Amino acid sequence: MTSTPAYDYIIAGTGCAGLSLAMHLQASDAGFKKILLIDKELKNKNDRTWCFWTKKRDNWFDPVLFTRWDHFVFRSNTFEKTFDLSPYRFCMIRSLDFYAYCLSRLKNDTRFEFITEDIESIGTGYNMGILKAGNKTYTAHYIFNSVFRTQHIKDNHVNFIQHFRGWCVKRRKMCLMMPALY
C-alpha cells in the first residue's frame, strides 16, 4: 500500500458526529495544520433527521434548523392548553441541510481534505493512528471514528455506541420524535 503524508487528525465518517467535530475544530484555537475527513459516500441526500432539546440560543447550527418549537399545545375534546417550553426549545435539523452547511464551510478551509472511500480498517501504530482505505494508508496523531462497524470493536479500545430512545407524538400529518432522558 502507498502512504500519504501524516495528518494532525483523521475524522472517519462525515455524518452528524464527524462534521460537528470538524466544525468545532475549525472554530477553535487548536493548532492543527491538516485534517482528513473520510466517508464511503458523498453526503448529498436527506438520509436522516435529528431532533434535540437545547437551552442554548445562537448555536453555530442555527442557520440549518428546519424548525423549532418554543411551546406546544395539548388539545382534547374538552380541554386545550398551551405550554411554554422555556428555557428549552425543541429543534429539528434535516441531514441534507446540515451536510451542505458544514461541507461548504469546511471545503473553503485549506486545512481540511475530503476523501470518499470505504474504510477498510482503523488501528494504531507507534504513536500514530492508522486508517486504511482503498489502496492507501493514512496516518495521524489522532483518529476520531464515528463510523460504527462491529469489526472495529476491540477490547483495548474506547468504543462508544450512539443510540436514542424517545416517544412518538402524533400530530396531524406529522410524527415528532421526542427524546427521553433515562
**164-173: pLDDT as tens digits:** 555 455 555 4
User: What's the pLDDT score for residue 127?
Assistant: 83
What distance in Å separates the CA atoms of residue 137 and residue 122, rounded to the nearest whole number? 10
Tens-place pLDDT, residues 112-149: 999 999 999 888 887 889 999 989 999 999 999 988 65
The answer for residues whose C-beta is within 8 angstroms of residue 140's C-beta and 6 or more apart is 6, 7, 8, 9, 10, 36, 128, 129, 131
- Quickly tell me which residue has 469489526 as its cell: 151
CB distance 133 to 127 below 8 Å:
no
Q: Where exactly are the structural domains of the chain?
A: 2-179
What distance in Å separates the CA atoms of residue 149 and residue 47, rounded to the nearest whole number? 18
- Quickly tell me which residue has 472554530 as its cell: 27
Model-wide pTM > 0.85: no
- 3-state DSSP call for residue 4? coil
DSSP 64: G
What distance in Å separates the CA atoms of residue 92 and residue 111, rounded to the nearest whole number? 30
What distance in Å separates the CA atoms of residue 178 and residue 158, rounded to the nearest whole number? 29
In terms of CATH architecture, what is 2-179?
A: 3-Layer(bba) Sandwich (3.50)
DSSP 130: E
For the chain, which residues score pLDDT lower than 50? Answer: 1-2, 4, 150, 167, 173-182
